[in-house]
Amino acid sequence: MKMNSQPNKRTLLIIVSAVDALLSGFILLIYFGLVPIDMSKWGVQPWFIGLVSGLWFATALIVLVYQLTKTDISE
């Protein structure tokens, strides 16, 4: 009996990209000053944190939207 692993991969990608979007979104909130955490103690330039977390958020959101809107044509 062979199990179809395609839905499991899709579910895993949805969960992982949603968690990535939440984590990067939280870091973006810190970057924009909406969460009172001091970034200067991290030892990284603030613009770099904003750039990396912005790209991370955009990538996670693209993967999440793609996986949620992809139609299953394996009939």
Q: Is the predicted pLDDT of residue 56 greater than 90, yes or no?
A: yes
Label residue 9 by pLDDT band (50, 70, 90). confident
pLDDT value at residue 47: 93
Q: Is the predicted pLDDT of residue 7 greater than 80, yes or no?
A: no
pLDDT value at residue 8: 83
Closest CA to 55 of 13, 21, 32, 19: 21
Q: Is the predicted pLDDT of residue 46 greater than 80, yes or no?
A: yes
Closest CA to 67 of 34, 20, 2, 4: 20
Domain boundaries, the chain: 43-68
